[in-house]
């Protein structure tokens, strides 16, 4: 069986990896220019297709039949060949329904705001209605075609409890953006974002910071892969398949970020951990030295701490957009909230907690080159490390044992 995903730009799509994990058929990514779509669809030489933007509506004239979900939302993201007929389905409804359930918040009787006015927003609205939402409101910048503007929503629907994002806002490389500000909704209970790259979008982070439950789009993508596979093969998969796919891909895509005091072993442990997991390794201090052609001590001495922090922040910003490696940060990386926010987009922050009496001053660490400086830094930064960390790992006497401990936690 031969299947594929078609779209105009697919470089950052995770679908091939998810379907590959199922191992049920061949699966490829096939980029098509708009003028190539017609000939491709008329050829009918694949057994199953997933369809992404901008073709979820454009494929419909080439199909012989639409499922109820596809008719309801006017968009197709899965095509199955049965004999000589092409049947269009929509898995976005089921995927979004599963993502909303994953937040753990009931939509019964709630007002749901949906950022976006395209076909995915229609799928989200259908999913919300199935889950009992009292009202669904689609939002757009223009406020046209049945949607309301964001500014109108901030005033008229300030009591909304649920936000769903179906726009590209927040997607790499524009990861700092967001379509709708969750801080404008004091009764917000949950947010769901269809964007899965980065793993934790700015919208999801902002919503969680307000105490709301929030989920990014990776689980939705995993559910949609399973729904598509069932349509392609005509067989039911185990109920926990989507959870397994999401868990496995999250492990592969999440960057491991080591934070902690100077001298806590981040570089040594990071290299060992990267070797064990078969991942790339980057040390932000070493990268700063490479880019400037200067040692960290010389950067501090000749350019000052602020210039070093600016260099560090630029490096962290760039690294935060990548997935799956191991990063050892400088001891002061957590001093800037922007660094922590950036690293959390794709990263799991692991605090290497080495006791103060085991931190050894060295001359190449300008802020920690004597015992008194270390004591002062430890007192200042320890609460910041704890606040930033997703996981705190007490260090072992041997760096390799610490790396093994972290690897065990990740599993």
Residues 252-265: tens digit of each pLDDT: 999 999 999 999 99
Q: Domain ranges for the chain, please list them.
A: 2-90, 94-216, 254-410
pLDDT digits (tens, 9 = 90+) for 81-137: 999 999 999 999 999 999 999 999 999 999 999 999 999 999 999 999 999 999 999
- Select from 58, 59, 46 the least CA-distant residue to 19: 46
Q: Which CATH class is domain 94-216?
A: alpha beta
Q: Residue 159 has what pLDDT?
A: 97
Q: Can 94-216 and 254-410 be said to share one CATH topology?
A: yes
Q: Across-strand partners of 49? A: 4, 79
Architecture category of domain 254-410 in CATH: 3-Layer(aba) Sandwich (3.40)
pLDDT bin (cut points 50, 70, 90) of residue 360 is: confident
Report the DSSP pairing between strands 190-193 and 162-165.
parallel
Longest CA span, the chain: 78
Provide the whole-model pTM.
0.93
Fold of 2-90: Rossmann fold (3.40.50)
Report the alpha-carbon distance of residue 331 to residue 64 in Å, rounded. 61
DSSP string, 125-190: HHHHHHTT-SEEEEEESS--TT-EEHHHHHHHTTT--EEEE-SSTT-TTSTT--SS-GGG-TT--E
Burial class (CB in 10 A: 0-12, 13-18, 19+), 345: buried
Mean pLDDT of the chain: 95
């Amino acid at each position: 069986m031969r299947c594929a995903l078609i779209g105009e730009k697919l470089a950052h799509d995770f679908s091939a990896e998810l379907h590959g994990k199922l191992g049920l058929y061949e699966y490829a990514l096939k980029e098509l220019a708009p003028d190539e779509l017609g000939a491709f669809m008329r050829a009918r030489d694949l057994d199953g297709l997933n369809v992404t933007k901008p073709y979820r509506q454009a494929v419909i004239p080439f199909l012989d039949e639409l499922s109820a979900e596809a008719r309801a939302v006017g968009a197709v993201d899965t095509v199955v060949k049965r004999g000589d007929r092409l049947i269009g389905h929509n898995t976005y409804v089921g995927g979004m329904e599963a993502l909303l359930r994953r937040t753990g918040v009931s939509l019964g009787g709630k007002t749901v705001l949906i950022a976006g006015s395209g076909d995915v927003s229609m799928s989200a609205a259908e999913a919300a209605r199935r889950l009992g939402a009292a009202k669904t409101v689609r939002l757009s910048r223009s406020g046209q075609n049945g949607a309301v503007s964001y500014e109108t929503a901030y005033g008229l629907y300030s009591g909304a409890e649920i936000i769903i994002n179906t726009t590209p806002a927040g997607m790499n490389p524009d990861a700092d953006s967001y379509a709708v500000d969750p801080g404008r909704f004091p009764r917000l209970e949950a947010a769901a974002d269809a964007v899965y790259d980065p793993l934790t979008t700015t919208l999801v982070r902002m919503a969680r910071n307000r105490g709301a439950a929030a989920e990014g789009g990776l689980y939705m993508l995993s559910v949609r892969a399973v729904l598509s596979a069932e349509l392609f093969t005509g067989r039911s998969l185990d109920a926990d398949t989507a959870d397994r796919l999401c868990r496995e891909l999250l492990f592969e895509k999440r960057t491991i970020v080591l934070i902690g005091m100077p001298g806590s072993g981040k570089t040594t442990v990071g290299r060992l951990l990267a070797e064990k997991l078969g991942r790339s390794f980057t040390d932000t201090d070493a990268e700063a030295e490479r880019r400037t052609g200067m040692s960290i001590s010389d950067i501090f001495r000749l350019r000052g701490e602020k210039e070093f922090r600016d260099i560090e922040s630029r490096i962290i910003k760039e690294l935060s957009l990548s997935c799956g490696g191991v990063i050892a940060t400088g001891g002061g990386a957590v001093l800037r909230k922007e660094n922590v926010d950036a690293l959390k987009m794709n990263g799991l922050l692991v605090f290497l907690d080495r006791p103060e009496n085991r931190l050894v001053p060295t001359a190449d660490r300008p802020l920690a080159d004597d015992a008194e400086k270390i004591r002062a830094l430890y007192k200042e930064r320890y609460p910041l490390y704890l606040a930033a960390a997703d996981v705190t790992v007490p260090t072992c006497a041997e760096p390799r044992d610490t790396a093994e401990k972290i690897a065990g936690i990740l599993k």
